[in-house]
A and B are shown apart, each in its own frame.
Chain A
Amino acid sequence: MLAVGVSAAALAAGSYLVVRHNLLADSVDTAERQARQNLAIVPTYIQDGPTALLEAYQRGGGNFQTAGVNRGRPFSSTFQVNLRQVPADVRRLVKKGELAYARKTVAGTHYLVVGGSAGPNTELYYFFSEQDLQRELGQLRTILLAGVGILMLVAAFVGALLARSTLLPVARASDAARSLAEGLLETRLPVEGRDEFGVWAQSFNEMAAALEAKISALSAAQARERRFTADVAHELRTPLTALVGEASLLAEHIESMPLESRRPAELLIADVGRLRRLVEDLMEISRFDAARESVQAESVDLGSLARATVRARGWDGQVRLEAEDVVISSDPRRLEGIVANLVGNALDHGGREVSVRVGRDGPSAFVEVSDDGPGIAAEHLPHLFERFYKADPARSGAGTGLGLAIAQENARLLGGRIEVWSEVGKGTRFTLRL
């Protein structure tokens, strides 16, 4: 589009300059011819004074005005022109006996001034008006400029039309790519025509179809895997129930056991407990995966809930509790699970000082569990809520590896989230926000 504009402008400017040059040169030729004729009759009339000469010119009907000087006395045919208006270099040349010309504007009128000498004491200057010529050139300029302008407009319009028909498929494709990225895997482009865009749209559709197939295969695999986990947990439950029962019977009789079997029995009981926690956590997380969890909301005082949670687990002596009255509508059993998990973690991994703070922060309620333990390295923080993620592989004993994942799922189910802040050497702070 720009190229069209520039070449049109260059072409117009070129033609204008050629036309102007020719017109001006013609004008000079004509004027020169007239001037020579004028000069030729000067000797005949000049003895009677300049007036006779000027009258002779007027009779001849010349379309020029005259100024001159005879024996030191200047004269002119009209008030409009006089000797002083003749450019100096023209006079200089005329005095040397040559014919000379120049262009000069006098009182808004363009003149071509042609001068020559008739004998040693007589100079004559003819003022030929070029007003018409200049007007024509002006008109030509206007026409050419308007033409270029119109051409530019047309070019712009055509260009925009072209661009639109080219860009429309591109815009559509970019919309399609965006909706694909947003997860609308069934997005396809209309295939129109056999041009590059048609071919391209077809490739895009093939890619989208492949992606859709891949993702649905992946999610089917994931669903299978999750179902498998749920099934395993489910199948484990029956033998585990027997094990848990047996362990609790054993626990009651541990005092009456022979000394050498007492320790293995204690270990057995503890490990059955660990297995139970693991299976229960697995069952709980697979319930989240199956979206089979529901919230039983009632009015809950977070402060008393935190206090009861700590007391029920015998943590009274180890935890400092600072609680405001914060009454919200939520599911107390889930809240209890979250708080117990966070406090339990802090006691397991943290230092001597574990404190729980319950309060309100603007529209949201919070439970904050902090410790002054060794802290968690920054690279582990983003993964803490992943299943079976262990920040310290050496410390695999205490938890099931699912506690924080379950706590976070619970928090989400209650419309909240758990945040973590930690610094090595300073401590860790988990905040449940609701």
Chain B
Amino acid sequence: MDAHVLLVEDDASIREVATLGLEQAGFRVTASGDGRDGLARFRQGPFDLVVLDVMLPSLDGFEVCKEIRRESQTPIVMLTARSELHDVVVGLELGADDYVTKPFELPELVARIKAVLRRSTAGPPEGTIAIHDLEIDPGSFSVRRGGEDVPLTATEFRLLLELARRPKQVFTRELLLDLVWNYDYLGDSRLVDVAVQRLRAKIEEDPKQPKLIHTVRGVGYRLNPE
């Protein structure tokens, strides 16, 4: 597989052990202990994925995440403290694809990284799906609206694709967590809610009054072209 991972984590021990663990899991790892330095290294890239701690010297993880999203859709996994409930949501809103809470076991981190990478790996070739004014091309991971590219992260793209493959079907959050995030058991439903918000912001004309992705209260979401 040999994917190249950028790890930005300020604690030397965690950085070293995570590097070792990821390398043993078959990844190539570039490690950085500082926000600014991490961002500089990212720009020298390319990387297949970024693992980003929140608390970082010089530039915190949220800022780094925001900067990366400004210029690229490279998958990001945040390392957050579960006690900082708010951090999780902030990270997701800034465009992180998933998160792992500290303390974590290495297999957990590896599993999350693999799940995120799987989203950006093409499956069997499929035809383009046209819905409303959108053209979704699973082969090239691109979405076009009126001929123009809509930049989506791997997670947002998968989410749109799953919904678009079966329009009008209601997807529970649980099902979406399984299909998109590969959580087979009790994932965090905020992952779905925040991703839907971000997706709406990119593809809906008025994200506050969505015409494509509808909320089914108490159940989940449904793509319903009008």
Interface check B58, CB cutoff 8 A: no
Q: Do A329 and B218 form a contact, CB below 8 Å, given A242-B13, A298-B173?
A: yes
Q: Is the CB of B105 within 8 A of A298?
A: no
Please determine whether A298 and B81 come into contact, CB atoms closer than 8 angstroms.
no
Interface pair A241/B218, CB less than 8 Å apart: no
Count chain B CB atoms within 10 A of each CB in A248, A293, A294 and give the residue with the most.
A248
Contacts of B173 in A (CB 8 A): 298
Judge if A391 is at the interface, Cβ distance under 8 Å.
no
List B contacts of A296 (CB < 8 A): 189-190
* Contact present for B14 and A245 (CB under 8 Å): yes
The answer on a CB contact under 8 Å between A234 and B83 is yes
B83 and A283 within 8 A (CB)? yes
B residues 181-196 near A (Cβ < 8 Å) are 185-186, 188-190
Instruction: Let me know if B85 and A292 touch, CB within 8 A.
Output: yes
- Is A237 touching B103 in the complex (CB atoms < 8 A)? yes
A336–B24 Cα gap in the complex (Å)?
Answer: 32
**Chain B, residue nearest A336 (CB):** B186
Within 8 Å by CB of A248, from B14, B82, B105, B190, lies B105
Given A249-B21, A308-B185, A332-B186: A238 and B82 interface contact (C-beta under 8 Å) = no
- Give 1 or 0 for each of B98-115: 1 = CB within 8 Å of chain A CB: 000011111100000000
Are B104 and A241 neighbours in the complex by a CB distance under 8 Å? yes
Judge whether B105 and A244 touch: CB under 8 Å: yes
Contact B11 A249 (CB under 8 A): no
Q: Are B17's CB and A245's CB within 8 A? A: yes
Q: Are B218 and A240 in contact (CB under 8 A)?
A: no
Whole-angstrom distance between the Cβ of B151 and the nearest chain A Cβ: 29
- Report the separation of the CA atoms of residues A294 and B102 in the bound assembly, to the nearest whole angstrom: 19
Interface residues of B in 3-28 (CB under 8 A from A): 11, 13-14, 17-18, 20-21, 24
State in angstroms the CA–CA spacing of A246 and B24 once bound together: 13
A242 touches B83 (CB 8 A): no
Known contacts A230-B83, A283-B82; is-contact A240 B103 (Cβ 8 Å): yes
Is A249 in contact with B14, judged by CB distance below 8 angstroms? no
Contacts of B219 in A (CB 8 A): 299
Cβ of A352 within 8 Å of any chain B Cβ, yes or no, is: no
Contacts of A286 in B (CB 8 A): 83
Q: In the docked arrangement, what's the CA distance between A237 and B54, Å?
A: 13
Q: A286-B83, A298-B173 are in contact. List 16 more A-B contacts (CB 8 A).
A: A234-B81, A238-B102, A242-B14, A244-B104, A245-B18, A245-B103, A245-B104, A247-B105, A248-B105, A249-B20, A280-B103, A283-B81, A283-B83, A284-B83, A287-B83, A298-B189
A333 within 8 A of B: yes
C-alpha spacing A286/B82, complex, angstroms:
12
For B55, the closest partner residue in chain A by CB is A238
28 A-B pairs with CB atoms under 8 Å apart are A233-B83, A234-B81, A234-B83, A237-B83, A237-B102, A239-B13, A241-B104, A242-B14, A244-B103, A245-B17, A245-B18, A245-B103, A245-B104, A246-B13, A246-B17, A249-B20, A249-B21, A249-B106, A280-B82, A286-B83, A287-B85, A292-B85, A293-B85, A298-B189, A299-B218, A329-B218, A333-B186, A333-B188
Indicate whether A402 reaches chain B with its CB closer than 8 angstroms: no
Q: Does A312 contact B (CB under 8 A)?
A: yes
Q: For residues 26 through 80 of chain A, which have their beta carbon under 8 Å from a beta carbon of chain B?
A: none
Residues of A within 8 A of B188 (CB): 333
Is the Cβ of A249 less than 8 Å from the Cβ of B24? yes
A276, A287, A293, A312: the one within 8 Å of B103 (CB): A276
Taken together as a complex, chains A and B put the C-alpha atoms of A286 and B173 apart, in Å, by 29
